[in-house]
Every structure is written in C-alpha cells, then in structure tokens.
Homo-oligomer: A and B are copies of this chain.
Amino acid sequence: MSDKKNRRIVLASRPTGKPTPENFRFEEAPLPAPAEGQVLLETLYLSLDPYMRGRMSAGRSYAKPVEVGAVMEGGTVARVLASRHADYAVGDIVLSHSGWQTHALSDGAGLRKLDPAAAPISTALGVLGMPGFTAYAGLLTIGRPKAGETVVVAAASGPVGSAVGQIARIKGARAVGIAGGADKCAFVRELGFDAAIDHRAPDFTARLAEACPQGIDVYFENVGGAVWDGVFPLLNDFARIPVCGLIAQYNATGDFPGPDRLPVVMRDVLSKSLTIRGFIQREFTDQRPAFYTEMAQWIADGRVRYREDVVQGLDRAPEAFIGLLEGRNFGKLVIEVAKD
C-alpha cells in the first residue's frame, strides 16, 4: 500500500479563461475503510482529457460541472487495495472514474475489470478506452468514411485524432492529420497518415488544400478555432462533420469578435448538403463490445498504434492539464499516480 492518506485535488475556484494552478487545491484525508459491498481503490493512472475544462465551468454542458470544493473528475485505472465486494479481490485492476485522487471507495458501479495480460493497463484510458471509442464511434457512425474519400482530423497526434486517422485508413479512406509542430507531424506520418500538416505553419491553409486535392469528405472536429477556417472551404458536397470537441475555444470568455461566420457556414451547409453532428461517446454505448473486439485486433495487427505521454505523480496533474489545453502534451496524457 503506497500511502496511508488519500491525497486529492479539488476544484478551488472556477477559471475565467485559461485555468491556472490557483483553480486547484491539494487536500489530504485519512484513507477510508470500505463498508460492506465496497472496495477501496488505489489509483495507478489518471486520465487527463480536454472535456475536463467543461466540467470546471458552471455553464450547461452534457454533464454536470464539478462543484467547487469537490474532487476533480476523471477516468482512472486502479488496483483493489481492500474489498468487501463479492466481485472484486485485492489486487484486481479496474477501470474506474475515481477522479484526481490517490484513493477512492467504490460500490462497483461503473467499474470494469482489466486483464493486465491483454494490453498495458493504461490503454484503458486511451486507445482502448474513452478516447479510442470516441474516435471509433464518431468516425464510423457519423463520419462514415468510404473508400477513396478524404478524412481530415486535427490534434492528430492525440489519442482521439490518431485513432480517427488510422481507422479511416483501415476503411480505405485517405487520412490527413493536422498537428502542432514538426515532431508531432512526423509522428502522424509514422502512424501511416497520408499527410500531416502543421497548423502553426504560416501557409497552413495552402498546405492543407494541397494535401486534399479531392476536397474533404469527413472532418472530424475536435479543435475548432483557426483549423476550422482552413478546413471549411475544402468541404465537399455531402461532407460529414462529427463534432467531438472544440478545445481551441474552451478557454474563451465573452463574445467572439466579428464578422459573423454563422451565415456563411449555414450557406454552405445548405448549398453543399453538409452534416454537422455533435456527439458524446456515451450515446453509442451499444457499440462498445464491437469496439473492444475490433480495436484490440487492430492493435494486435499493428494497424492501430498509439502514443502515451505519461507524467509522474498526482501533484503534476494541474500543470499537465493546463498544458494539455495548450497542446503541450504529445500523445495520450496520463498521470502515473502510483507504480503498477
């Protein structure tokens, strides 16, 4: 047992614009003992994901915000330290949603046992977890890429984007990835994308157009912002735009300056018969079994590869999360909270 206390990070205050370290507070509490029907979990890995920015704000989203003073929410991989639950034994590894803390009690609801022999357990937070499933369900159900079509995705070195492009390739489509900086672009090319474009390049728009000579049939939207403006004119008739995230605008405050782009977008929605469809992976829960089977096979076959950005220690979660919103991570960002 790594610790006799539960260390946790709570939301100290709601950010205005970019989160700062002051929005987070560290607390310690005695390790709780499981009641009948409960397990005590020790967090091994904590997932950091862009959606958490939404939970820090009070505004309406698809989920309730984290209350000020409450533990920051997050997916975790954990080990059972003590069990009074018939289904779990000490030492079991589980996928949980314990949040930003070293330990948590659970009554088993929402837990999923992991087989450490089948895949590295941290992948349950990435390519074989929520981000991978987001890519899978959004691309295949909403994007529906056909062989020969062009699929564009931003944040292409990240856990969602990298899976989107690789699955698009498996389906016979061309995959064009957008990423920030030469290293990330090189990695995206290594993954087998047909092209990788640096959104920081001054001629980004021209390069993107060059990489999409047949236009864009599917734009998997997970960033918004300036990337959208480069993609939008290249959309083909009947293009599909699964909207999974808008990380570029999560920190925005107040009105957005003009001109108003909405009428222009709506004009093309009409004239090109575009589909813009927001989603959250929970909606497609019935596809999870197929996802686990297919994705595990694709990984085993080497057709889907992934990269993790592992940061050591819960204490670094706030700084790592702030960096995530600025694109400073490289691969799926996870905090290694305790050694496996």
Contacts from A to B (Cβ < 8 Å)? 54, 60-62, 221, 224, 237, 243-246, 249, 252, 255-280, 283
Contacts and interface: CB of A to CB of B under 8 A. Distances in A.
A219 B167 CA distance: 33
Given A61-B271, A273-B62, A278-B269, A256 B263 contact: yes
A270 B258 contact: no
9 nearest A-B pairs in the assembled complex, by CB-CB distance: A258-B258, A255-B259, A269-B278, A256-B260, A261-B262, A276-B276, A270-B278, A61-B271, A275-B277
Contacts of A276: 269, 274-277
9 contacts: A62-B237, A62-B271, A255-B258, A256-B262, A269-B277, A270-B278, A273-B277, A273-B283, A274-B276
A270 B256 contact: no
Contact of A258 (B224, B259, B265): B259
A275 B273 contact: no
B274 A277 contact: yes
A261 to B, nearest CB: 4
A252 B243 CA distance: 28
A269 B257 CA distance: 20
Contacts of A273: 62, 277-280, 283
How many subunits of this chain does the assembly comprise? 2
A265 B243 CA distance: 12
Contacts of A277: 269, 273-277
B283 A267 contact: no
B263 A252 contact: yes
A246 B264 CA distance: 11
Contact of A259 (B61, B257, B271, B280): B257
A268 B242 CA distance: 13
A255 B256 CA distance: 15
Contacts of A249: 263, 266-267
B264 A243 contact: no
A137 to B, nearest CB: 12
B263 A265 contact: no
Given A61-B271, A270-B243, A275-B275, A260 B263 contact: no
Contacts of A244: 270
Contact of A266 (B224, B268, B271, B280): B224
Nearest to A54: B271
A266 B278 CA distance: 8
A266 B241 CA distance: 11
A283 B256 CA distance: 35
Contacts of A54: 271
A313 B273 CA distance: 35
A262 B259 CA distance: 10
Contacts of A60: 271
Contacts of A263: 224, 246, 249, 252, 256
Contacts of A61: 271
B269 A274 contact: no
A276 to B, nearest CB: 4
B256 A257 contact: no
